[in-house]
Amino acid sequence: MFTPQPIGYVHSPYKAASEIPRGLGAQHPAEGTIEILRDFEPGLTDIEGFSHLYVLWVFDRADGYDLVSRPPTDDRAHGVFASRSPRRPNPIALTVVELLGRDGGTLRVRGVDMLDGTPILDIKPYLSSIPQEKLRRGWLAEAESRAQSAK
């Protein structure tokens, strides 16, 4: 095991979880910054060449976990590992953001879905070799289909 330590913190417009868009079709257009701690700033070398980044972060304000629950996007229960619930055994989150620019240790990004002050654990360039037609959306696609049929 290891003890994760933040490499930086997010500055976002969201002060409360209830402000973050969620549910079927939720969009995340909000812009924010990721401030990398000075000791880790050299790790940003050459990051400007990537359009999108994976950001691993901590649900630092989540309390406890549920292995099965009903997400806001469906009226059916699903396992925590088949959801994006913050109530997880290890409160680790993953978000893809668009990199808008860099100024030293500050990354300007679009697509933040985390609270202001959230600790960042790691950043990786977004790379995928999986063709779009091979991706599946599991129960979420079924919930979206049911929602469309109900309209």
What is the CATH classification number for the domain harbouring 81?
A: 2.40.30.70
Is 3 inside a domain boundary?
no
Segment (H or E) for 97: strand 92-103
Question: What local confidence, expressed as pLDDT, does residue 95 receive?
Answer: 94
Residue 96 has pLDDT above 70, yes or no: yes
Q: Which residue has the higher pLDDT, 32 or 26?
A: 32
Quote the mean pLDDT of the chain.
91
CB 107 within 8 A of CB 34: yes
Instruction: State how beta strands 78-79 and 92-103 pair.
Output: unpaired
**Is the model's pLDDT at 139 over the cut of 90?**
no
d(CA 49, CA 35): 18
As given in the structure block, the two tokens for residue 143 are: 């919930």
Quickly state the pLDDT bin for 136 (edges 50, 70, 90): confident
Residue 50 lies in a domain: yes
Give me the mean pLDDT over the 138-145 stretch.
Answer: 83
Say yes or no to pLDDT of 141 above 90: no
The two structure tokens encoding residue 92? 């680790």
Q: What is the pLDDT of residue 105?
A: 98
Residue 59 covered by a domain:
yes
pLDDT(131) > 90:
no
User: Which residues constitute the domain of residue 26?
Assistant: 8-150
Is 1 inside any structural domain?
no
> What is the reported pLDDT for 31?
97
pLDDT band, residue 142 (cuts 50/70/90): confident
In this prediction, residues 1-11 reach a mean pLDDT of: 95
Domain count, the chain: 1
Whether 98 maps to a domain, the answer reads yes
* Residue 25 zone, left/alpha/beta (φ > 0; ψ -120 to 50; rest): left
Within-domain flag for 2? no
The pLDDT value recorded for residue 24 is 67
Number of Cβ within a 10 Å radius of residue 27: 8
What percent of the chain has pLDDT above 70?
A: 99
Whole-prediction pTM: 0.86
Tokens linked to 138? 């599991």
| pLDDT score for 106 | 98
